[in-house]
Amino acid sequence: MATDRQKRVWDEAAPRYDRQIAFLERHWFVGAREWVCARAQGRVLEVAIGTGRNLPFYRPGTTITGIELSTEMLAVARTRAAELGRAADLREGDAHRLPFEDGSFDTVVCVLSLCTITDPARAIGEMKRVLVPGGTLLLADHIRSSFGPLRVAQRLAEQVTIRTAGEHFTRRQLPLVQAQGFEIVETERLKAGTVERIRARKP
Ligand SMILES: C[S@@+](CC[C@H](N)C(=O)[O-])C[C@H]1O[C@@H](n2cnc3c(N)ncnc32)[C@H](O)[C@@H]1O
């Protein structure tokens, strides 16, 4: 379950988030939002939608629902949706217990958030539950590097970041997705193996 502390951390981060992540999007997560959103179709649920930075990239014809832990992040997402003229159902919610019926969505998206969600295996299980059979899971996140020295640096960094912000650098979502019984359709691993994009299908 998400904690009050996590919510507070992200509420406090909200005013600075867009500026900080824009830098990382230019140098580290290049093209991740475009990659994910080009593959999303139909009824789309974005889990931990944050400030809604994927909203400009979803294709016309998709209907967007977003859930997010932080009230302040969500407030920025609502403003963004209004400025874009993009209808979106944006709600507070916890990725560990999605407030939707089984089989409610054609696509579930989660970007840069399974690195911080307390129990990523449980969250991925929830994403599977709310997908229709044949539905698509789309993930993009930073993960543990395939390059040893960088992995050591990541382990050191997360000694601090897990405690202060719940941010993990040595997780990897692919085995969790496989363990949930998804069929892996497409993966890309970039930037010394620190970034991974996954497209998977619920059987
Ligand atoms: C690094 S931000 C990423 C935001 C957005 N997905 C993006 O691509 O910019 C991580 C987000 O995960 C949210 N989050 C963390 N734990 C969560 C949970 N259990 N349920 C829903 N959202 C959560 C945080 O509030 C924060 O907005």
Quick: pLDDT tens for 92-138. 999 999 999 999 999 999 999 999 999 999 999 999 999 999 999 99
pLDDT tier at 145, thresholds 50, 70, 90: very high
Closest CA to 198 of 118, 152, 140: 140
Is the CB of 107 within 6 Å of ligand 1?
no
- Please tell me the distance between residue 164's alpha carbon and the centre of ligand 1 in angstroms: 15
Match 């997402």 to its residue by tokens.
77
Q: In the predicted model, is pLDDT for residue 201 greater than 90?
A: yes
What would the mean pLDDT of 45-65 be, rounded to a whole number?
98
pLDDT of residue 2: 82
pLDDT band at 45 (very low <50, low <70, confident <90, very high): very high
C-beta neighbour count of 1 within 10 angstroms? 10
Beta carbon of 55 within 6 Å of any ligand 1 atom: no
Position 3 confidence tier, pLDDT thresholds 50, 70, 90: confident
CA atoms of 111 and 28, how far apart (whole Å): 13
Beta pairing partners, 109:
46, 138
What pLDDT shows up at residue 188? 98
pLDDT, residue 112, reads 98
Tell me the three state secondary structure of residue 168.
Answer: coil
Say how many Å lie between the CA of residue 68 and the centre of ligand 1. 6
116 CB under 6 A from ligand 1?
yes
Alpha carbons 196 and 11: distance in angstroms, whole number: 26
- Quote the tokens at residue 107: 């696509």
Token representation of residue 4: 């009050």
Distance 95 CA to ligand 1 centre (A): 9
State the distance from the centre of ligand 1 to the C-alpha of 49, rounded, in angstroms: 6
Residue type, 119: D
Q: Domain spans of the chain?
A: 2-201
Interval between CA 53 and ligand 1 midpoint (Å): 12
Complete edge-to-edge strand list for the sheet that includes strand 105-111: 88-92, 63-68, 43-47, 105-111, 131-142, 195-201, 183-190
Output the pTM of the full model: 0.97
Is residue 184 a contact partner of residue 198, using CB atoms and an 8 Å limit? Answer: yes
Instruction: Kindly state if the Cβ of 109 falls inside 6 Å of ligand 1.
Output: no
Ligand 1 centroid from CA 182, angstroms: 22
The protein residue whose alpha carbon is closest to atom 15 in ligand 1 is 117
pLDDT band at 1 (very low <50, low <70, confident <90, very high): confident
Element (H, E) at 140: strand 131-142
The tokens describing 122, both together, are 């449980």
Tens of pLDDT, residues 7-35: 999 999 999 999 999 999 999 999 999 99
User: Would you give the distance in Å from CA 78 to the centre of its chain?
Assistant: 17
Overall residue count recorded for the chain in this entry:
203
Q: What is the pLDDT of residues 169-197, one digit of tens each?
A: 999 999 999 999 999 999 999 999 999 99
Q: Which of residues 146 and 3 earns the better pLDDT score?
A: 146
Q: In the prediction, which pLDDT does 95 show?
A: 98
What's domain 2-201's architecture?
A: 3-Layer(aba) Sandwich (3.40)
Q: Is 45's C-beta closer than 6 angstroms to any atom of ligand 1? A: no
Q: Which atom of ligand 1 is nearest to the CA of 70?
A: 25
Ligand 1 neighbour 68 (Cβ under 6 A)? yes
- Average pLDDT of the segment spanning 63-88: 98
